[in-house]
């Protein structure tokens, strides 16, 4: 069964860049039937889509975050990654990686990883 696992620092300083990687196991990231994304959830709050990527490298970003977000894919490692620049305390959240079925149903979620922005 396909699994997704987030990894990366749990603490990031303000103004720095948050970097997370999602490792996909039990299935290929190169499937044309799905695409891959990042969704976050501030503590005690709701869900926010950050962006998505196809294995080909085509990306789609939340307009409200687009200027700070980069999502990339490494098919050789079956991984995709998130970079969010110039972070502030408002970026503190649980970050989920996910598999999506076009045009945008989230059919599988990682367990999530808490990233805290603090000096």
Q: Where in 5-24 is the site for another protein (CB under 8 A)?
A: none
Question: Distance between CA 42 and CA 115 in Å, rounded?
Answer: 9
Q: With CB under 8 A as the contact rule, which of the stretches 7-15, 70-78, 85-93, 101-109 interacts with another protein?
A: 101-109
Shortest distance (Å) from residue 10 CB to another protein: 16
CA 64 from centroid of its chain's CA atoms: 15
Contact 49, 62 (CB under 8 A): yes
SS3 call for 1 = coil
Comparison of 16 and 65: residue with beta carbon closer to another protein: 65
SS3 call for 72 = strand
Question: Distance between CA 19 and CA 71 in Å, rounded?
Answer: 10
Q: Where in 32-71 is the site for another protein (CB under 8 A)?
A: 46-49, 52, 60, 62-63
Comparison of 16 and 106: residue with beta carbon closer to another protein: 106
Contact 29, 21 (CB under 8 A): no
Can you tell me which of 33, 103, 118, 119 binds another protein, judged by CB under 8 A? 103
Q: Where in 81-100 is the site for another protein (CB under 8 A)?
A: 96
Binding site for another protein (CB under 8 A): 46-49, 52, 60, 62-63, 96, 101, 103-107, 109-112
């Amino acid at each position: 069964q396909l699994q997704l696992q987030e990894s990366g620092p749990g603490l990031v300083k303000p103004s720095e860049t948050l970097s997370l990687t999602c490792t996909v196991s039990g299935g290929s990231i190169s499937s044309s039937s799905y695409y891959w994304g990042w969704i976050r959830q501030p503590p005690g709050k709701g869900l926010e889509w950050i962006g998505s990527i196809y294995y080909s490298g085509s990306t789609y970003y939340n307009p409200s975050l687009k200027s700070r977000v980069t999502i990339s894919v490494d098919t050789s490692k079956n991984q995709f990654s998130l970079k969010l620049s110039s972070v502030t305390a408002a970026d503190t959240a649980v970050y989920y990686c996910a598999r999506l079925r076009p045009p945008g149903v989230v059919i599988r979620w990682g367990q999530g990883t808490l990233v805290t922005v603090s000096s």
